[in-house]
Structure 1
Amino acid sequence: RATAGQILISPDGSIPLTEFGSSSGGYTAPLEENSGFKAVEDLGDAYEKNPQKLWTKEIRRSDIEGMFPEIGELKGIRVTLRNGLGAWGGRTRQLVFLGTKADATLDIANWRGDQFRKKFSLKSDWYQFPQFPDYSDPGFWLAKSNGGVLAVGTAKHFGDAKKVKRAGDIVDIAGIPTAGGYWLVSSAGEVFSYGDAQHHGDLAAVSLAAPIVAITPHPDGRGYWLASGDGGVFTFGSASYYGSMGEVALNKPVVGMEVTRSGKGYWLVASDGGIFSFGDAQFYGSTGGIQLNMPITSMAAAPDGKGYWFVASDGGVFAFGSVGFFGSRGGDTNRRPTSGMAVSNTGEGYWLVWDDGVSFPFGDTPDFRSSVAKKTVVAIEVVP
């Protein structure tokens, strides 16, 4: 402060320049990397309370794939060259991005030239990368309104309804317990079966008071329920009827349905977050009395049936019962509305998906590249 506003002038009239150098790996940048001074050890770097000493940042797999589209699906990142000064061998000077189609090499001349650091706003160029979730991890299916189905991760594609004559758009998808097939349902109540999924009937010949919005499989895989926007419930195969809201005037339409672990009860959720429980399904709470920023679009039940989640179109997640809250897109800048959510088989995480297919993992769920769906995604279903 004592020299604020003052300039030091050398005897020859020149102005001496100073440079501040810092690091997060033990050494400042060397002369050959366009630094104005010789590299020196940063003795203050190891200060235990220094928040810049060790830092982490999560980067979505699909964002890196977008930076290097030629690699296909990203399998891992390797640091193949460092400058030899400081911890871990020094600053990163070359990265290799391993993909299913090709590998991409990124040469990094210096701090200023590090495109990876700039792209993801990283604090330094001392990189270490964790082992990536393998694509043998569980996956999911995405259903599109035109009948298309995208299989992600270990999910297998058993067919779709893109070329099938339908009376309505596809609105939901449900997988069978063996992961060997799935059903699609249209807004007109038509059910289409693929793989080992058996057709147990539908509402194709029935005049509906409101469009169908959801299909939910029985835990034994030998039946399913359909739910309509007015709260109606329709049963097929081994699925039993435990009640509905079809004769009740609802504040907002029903948008989703989930079944209990026993198959002896189910929940309906409305777009205002109102919950309706039937059979052995327990009520754990709702957002029916809360003013939401955006409407609820989907729900998911905990694997043990002791709770459930809702997701709103802005990515906000609401957790009830024994389930954990693992994060959301609520309050973030969202390019597209969230059309659905799916819970991992452990119940310790979930995916949110935009209507263009971009998925967001939370908790223990792997980060899968699903944006190739591009548009009109209406539902997500996890592989059992």
Structure 2
Amino acid sequence: MLLVSVVVLVASVVVPATGAAAATCAEIGHKVFVGDSDYAPNLDADGDGVGCESFPDTSRPTYDSTTGTGAGYWMIDEIGRLYPFGDAQRSGDPGEPLGSLGPDANSATARVVKVVSSSDGSGYWVLDDSGTVHAYGVPQLGSVDMATLDADEKPSTMSPTPGDDGYWVFTSKGRVLTFGTATPMGDLTAFTLDGPIIDSVALPDGSGYYMLGSDGGVFAFGNAKFWGSVPQVLPGVMLDCPVGGIVPTSTLQGYWMVACDGGVFAFGDAGFRGSLPGLGVTPVQPVVGMVRNGSGYLMVASDGGIFNFSDQPFVGSLGGLQVPSPIVSVAVLPGA
């Protein structure tokens, strides 16, 4: 039986404008980043996107988190600041040392697109759109050679192999790049997509993977099975609100998807466990990710709000705090 919840609204993200900085770093008193209201090029001597580098970093908000439950998750923002919650541990991030995001002189323009956990939760990988894979407590098995991609193509998501000895990197055009023991099982480079690829998930045994387009198109490879897509159930309908994540069920006989308003699409044996429109909730900022959490799913919004539809405990969020850069991805501690 196919269960679909479709409530779509247009959401907009307001990006802070770059404004005039105080005359000196001493007057500001802390590090500043590209996109911050007090950032200015004269404060950034080496042009790496971080000004006042000798001053403390006050950009990460202080937040509450519940520990000792065995549950946890990591959020990451677009310039590489990682926020652990619950029993998830922070082992470093691309924002530390500050300004290190990206592999070259254009590093200040690179943006994080994905964080994924190792199989035991002891570490994680972070992918940025310059193709760099950052590894923390896990093997670094290579990064994307951007010269092999089209000019308008960027890495957009990644998935690790079950043994943490490989990973797939997927691009906005559906190209698949393999590292370590990951093997290619097909890609979308021969097709013109209606929406860029924005998420991926590998099967637990590594024998297949899904790619998800922003229009809700689902592409299954290897042993991954196709159970339906948004264009299939809403033919000819252009969504006002992009789809942002896909989560297979534990039986692998279905999957959930989430739109940026928190509306949930359920296919195959995916039971409908709830959505934000179903609760009468409009997120302050758009939902940008969805991951498995216990027997259900967990959503994250770009302001760090967490929405938990599962049997696992809620262990904290950044919702209501001043987050200096939009959250772009979330990963759950395995075993939760």
User: Considering the TM-score relative to the shorter chain, is it more than 0.5?
Assistant: yes
Aligned partners of 1:150 and 1:373 also within 8 Å: no
Q: Note the C-alpha offset of 1:226.
A: 0.6
Match of 2:86 among 153, 157, 161: 153
Instruction: Answer yes or no: is 1:383 the counterpart of 2:327.
Output: no
Q: Note the C-alpha offset of 1:205.
A: 5.0
Structure 1 CA distance for aligned equivalents of residues 80 and 196 of structure 2 = 23
Which position in structure 1 is the counterpart of 2:8? none
Which position in structure 2 is the counterpart of 1:136? 69
In structure 1, the residue corresponding to 2:230 is in which secondary structure?
coil
Match of 2:298 among 341, 351, 358: 351
Which position in structure 2 is the counterpart of 1:200? 141
Structure 2 CA distance for aligned equivalents of residues 194 and 355 of structure 1 = 23
Q: Note the C-alpha offset of 1:295.
A: 1.1
Structure 2 CA distance for aligned equivalents of residues 293 and 156 of structure 1 = 36
Structure 2 CA distance for aligned equivalents of residues 222 and 304 of structure 1 = 24
Q: Which has the higher contact order (CA 8 A, sep 6+)?
A: 2
Aligned partners of 1:225 and 1:236 also within 8 Å: yes
Gaps of 5+ in 1: 1-70, 76-133
Instruction: Answer yes or no: is 1:336 the counterpart of 2:290.
Output: no
In structure 2, the residue corresponding to 1:288 is in which secondary structure?
helix
In the comparison of the two structures, how many residue pairs are matched? 253
Aligned partners of 1:351 and 1:365 also within 8 Å: no
Which position in structure 2 is the counterpart of 1:368? 315
User: Which residue identity lines up with residue 119 of structure 2 in the other structure?
Assistant: P
Which position in structure 2 is the counterpart of 1:272? 215
User: Which residue identity lines up with residue 267 of structure 2 in the other structure?
Assistant: F
Structure 2 CA distance for aligned equivalents of residues 246 and 365 of structure 1 = 38
Q: Deviations over 1:188-213 (max 9, x none)?
A: 21101001x10111114534221111
Aligned pair in 2 of structure 1 residues 74, 230: CA closer, same or farther (>3 Å)?
A: closer
Q: Deviations over 1:145-169 (max 9, x none)?
A: 1111111111000100012141421
Q: CA RMSD in A?
A: 2.0
Q: Note the C-alpha offset of 1:332.
A: 2.8
User: Which residue identity lines up with residue 332 of structure 2 in the other structure?
Assistant: V
Q: Deviations over 1:302-338 (max 9, x none)?
A: 2443222111111111122222221111363221100
Which position in structure 2 is the counterpart of 1:229? 172
Structure 2 CA distance for aligned equivalents of residues 211 and 221 of structure 1 = 23
Aligned pair in 2 of structure 1 residues 373, 237: CA closer, same or farther (>3 Å)?
A: farther
Gaps of 5+ in 2: 1-61
Aligned partners of 2:290 and 2:300 also within 8 Å: yes
Q: Deviations over 1:262-285 (max 9, x none)?
A: 201111111111111110000111
Aligned pair in 2 of structure 1 residues 341, 165: CA closer, same or farther (>3 Å)?
A: closer
Structure 2 CA distance for aligned equivalents of residues 74 and 232 of structure 1 = 38
In structure 2, the residue corresponding to 1:285 is in which secondary structure?
coil
Aligned pair in 2 of structure 1 residues 159, 234: CA closer, same or farther (>3 Å)?
A: same
Structure 2 length as normaliser, TM-score?
0.71
User: Which residue identity lines up with residue 181 of structure 1 in the other structure?
Assistant: G
Structure 2 CA distance for aligned equivalents of residues 239 and 324 of structure 1 = 31
Structure 1 length as normaliser, TM-score?
0.62
Aligned partners of 1:261 and 1:303 also within 8 Å: no
Aligned partners of 2:65 and 2:85 also within 8 Å: no
Which position in structure 2 is the counterpart of 1:295? 242
User: Which residue identity lines up with residue 382 of structure 1 in the other structure?
Assistant: V
